């Protein structure tokens, strides 16, 4: 069974790397839609990482994982 997630990568105000993942995203998302959401996350300033806010969008990845159960 294949599962997917979007990993959104940011830099904090202290230049640390941080990622936020969303499982099972809607199919056929465009890069523009993903970038707009990431920009909104930075603008809304709702996340705090060790006293630092998210300051910059770095990139995003769609990660697909294929899992096969082994039965005995």
Per-block mean pLDDT, blocks of 10 residues, the chain (72 long): 94 96 94 97 94 96 94 96
pLDDT at 1: 75
pLDDT at 2: 85
Question: Which residue ranges make up each domain of the chain?
Answer: 2-66
pLDDT at 55: 96
Residues 13, 65: Cα–Cα separation, whole Å: 32
Give the strand order in the sheet containing 2-12: 17-23, 2-12, 52-66, 48-49
pTM assigned to the model? 0.87
pLDDT at 15: 96
Return the closest-CA partner of residue 1 out of 64, 69, 70, 66. 66
């Amino acid at each position: 069974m294949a599962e997917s997630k979007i990993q959104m990568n940011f830099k904090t105000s202290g230049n640390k790397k941080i990622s936020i993942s969303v499982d099972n995203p809607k199919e056929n998302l465009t890069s523009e839609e993903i970038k707009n959401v990431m920009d909104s996350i930075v603008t809304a300033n709702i996340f705090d990482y060790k006293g630092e806010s998210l300051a910059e969008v770095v990139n995003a990845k769609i990660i697909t994982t294929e899992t096969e159960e082994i039965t005995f």
